[in-house]
């Protein structure tokens, strides 16, 4: 979800997910390696596994079978209709953060040509991950903190960028060491990827094993008769509670907790 002109419509359903919950804990256990979140911030536990998945979009390794998922939590925050199935999984092996999306989509929009500026993804189906080191809408001592976006299409192609609040994009930025792949299936598509933990740490995204993250899906459909613009719908893990579709607000983020 990028340019303002494209992403305001005109990335409530009860969260029911394995490995994703809410917490009312207000104190951090000083003996733990995990900094638990406060209040009702949704969180997802990124479990640790020894296996290294091959990034090919197939998800046929045994490791993926016992990684908790976010599935029932995805919804259309801005429409009172049921969202199509979207499943997200993530784990780490102490070196890399592995992630996957399994998407059910009866009308996959994907362009065969890929523009050098990565803007092809603007009119395609895709999944999206945002990463932030803290609140994205509050200035730090050295100014507004950057956060980072990955948009991955059904062919595994990526538009990655850094963002300064609000909606100042740098599409020349690239996530160091990112690998992605995707496979189109009979009922949708699968995306798989990995990011070195060092890349996330160098960007100061992980603090006490916790990283703020947004998990989204852009669900596009064939344009209506006589129209050129695809039908655009927006799916999110966390409901930002904004009047219009917008991922670029602090309230659209939850927390990834990297278990040790």
Decide: helix, strand or coil at residue 66: helix
> What was the pLDDT predicted at 25?
39
> What was the pLDDT predicted at 72?
86
Residue 191 and residue 57 in contact, taking contact as beta carbons nearer than 8 Å: yes
Provide mean pLDDT across the span 171-194.
98
CA distance 54 to 48: 16
pLDDT at 170 over 80: yes
pLDDT at 248 over 50: yes
Q: What is the pTM of this model?
A: 0.85
pLDDT digits (tens, 9 = 90+) for 48-94: 999 999 999 999 999 999 999 998 899 999 999 999 999 999 999 99
> What was the pLDDT predicted at 40?
65
Residue 151 is classified by DSSP as E
Q: Does 1.10.3720.10 match the CATH number of domain 4-258?
A: no
pLDDT at 37 over 50: no
pLDDT digits (tens, 9 = 90+) for 88-132: 999 999 999 999 999 999 999 999 999 999 999 999 999 999 999
- With 0-12 / 13-18 / 19 or more C-beta atoms within 10 angstroms meaning exposed / middle / buried, residue 169 is middle
- Rounded to 5 degrees, φ, ψ at 22 are -120, 160
Q: Where are the domains of the chain?
A: 4-258
Per the prediction, the chain carries an average pLDDT of: 88
CA distance 241 to 142: 29
pLDDT at 249 over 80: yes
pLDDT digits (tens, 9 = 90+) for 186-224: 999 999 999 999 999 999 999 999 999 999 999 999 999
- Residues whose CB is less than 8 angstroms from the CB of residue 93 and which lie 6 or more positions away in sequence, other chains included: 48, 49, 50, 51, 52
Provide mean pLDDT across the span 31-48.
68
Residue 17 is classified by DSSP as B
Residue 5 is classified by DSSP as G
């Amino acid at each position: 979800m990028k340019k303002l002109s494209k992403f305001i419509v005109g990335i409530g359903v009860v969260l029911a997910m394995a490995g994703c919950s809410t917490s009312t804990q207000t104190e951090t256990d000083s003996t733990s390696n995990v900094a638990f979140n406060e209040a009702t911030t949704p969180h997802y536990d990124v479990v640790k596994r020894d296996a290294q998945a091959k990034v090919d979009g197939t998800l046929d390794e045994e490791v993926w079978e016992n990684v908790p998922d976010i599935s029932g939590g995805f919804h259309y925050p801005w429409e009172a209709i049921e969202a199509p199935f979207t499943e997200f999984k993530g784990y780490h092996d102490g070196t890399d953060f592995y992630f996957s999306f399994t998407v059910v989509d009866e009308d996959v929009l994907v362009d065969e040509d890929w523009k050098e500026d990565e803007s092809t993804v603007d009119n395609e189906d895709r999944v999206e991950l945002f990463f932030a080191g803290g609140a994205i809408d509050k200035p730090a001592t050295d100014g507004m903190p950057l956060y980072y976006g990955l948009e991955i299409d059904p062919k595994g192609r990526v538009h990655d960028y850094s963002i300064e609040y609000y909606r100042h994009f740098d599409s020349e930025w690239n996530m160091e060491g990112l690998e992605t792949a995707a496979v189109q299936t009979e009922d949708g598509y699968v995306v798989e990827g990995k990011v070195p933990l060092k890349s996330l740490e160098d960007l100061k995204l992980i603090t006490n094993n916790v990283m703020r993250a947004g998990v989204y899906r852009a669900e596009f459909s064939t344009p209506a008769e006589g129209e050129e613009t695809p039908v655009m719908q927006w799916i999110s893990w966390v409901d930002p509670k904004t009047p219009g579709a917008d991922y670029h607000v602090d309230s659209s983020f939850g927390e990834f907790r990297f278990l040790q």
